[in-house]
Amino acid sequence: MSYKLFLSHSSKDEKVVNAFVSFMYKIGLTEKDIVCSSVPETKIAIGNDIYAYLNQLISDENIYAIYFLSDNYYASPVCLNEMGAVWLRKADSLSILLPGFDFNDVQGVVERNKVGIKLGTCDNMTKAAFNEFLKILNDKFGIHPNQTHWENARDEFLNLTLENNRKFNMAFARSYCIDDLENDGCKIIKKESNQEKITAIINFEKTESKLCSIVVFAECLCQ
């Protein structure tokens, strides 16, 4: 029984989705296994009616759908139509939440309490979730990458999404009012703490701006 990996996403999130497709290629999937409109070799061919193609795909193929959920996704009628069509087909699916989007934001026919994967972190919980996802890929697509190859490809993808998150999303940063901090030269220390748990070394030599706020990033890259 052959499967297709159907990637339902907003075109505005294509950077992460393209990186995910590259990730899939590295662990053994091919363009014949994937349907993704943002990648040239897996997109719907010119001349096809998009909705007719999707209806046929969902009706005739055994698909495993991945929803790349974000604010962009829920603002797209096409994405919501895809979600509804997959749900009606009762196809197996997985929700991947893009950085800045939380489980509480999940709406529509995708159940909020259904376990998915949240991007934007690279901790052991996220790695373990992707390890479970690999078991699904093994079962449906028959791929068996060796452990080292899998871990390298997985962590490369997670680090890429984390880096993108750091550049554009403040959800994984902690902010403090200036009254909660002490300035000891160029060292910023949280008040009322016997230990210097939260510090930041800041160089003020090239600015004349007055200190008004501090943001401390709380995530680290995979090791």
What angle do helix axes 77-89 and 50-60 make, rounded to 10 degrees?
A: 20
Q: Which residues, at least 6 apart from 25, have a Cβ–Cβ distance to it below 8 Å?
A: none
d(CA 136, CA 129): 11
**196: annotated active-site residue:** no
Q: Which residues, at least 6 apart from 125, have a Cβ–Cβ distance to it below 8 Å?
A: none
Across the strands, what pairs with 4? Answer: 63
- Token pair in block for residue 95: 């929700």
Start-end of H helices in the chain: 14-26, 50-60, 71-74, 77-89, 124-141, 147-168
Judge contact between 106 and 69, C-beta under 8 A. yes
Catalytic residue (one of 31, 82, 182, 208): 82
12 to 37, 67, 214: CA distances (angstroms): 12, 14, 30
Please name which of 60, 64, 14, 10 lies closest in space to residue 35, comparing C-alpha atoms.
Answer: 64
DSSP structure class, residue 174: E
Q: Which residues are catalytic?
A: 82
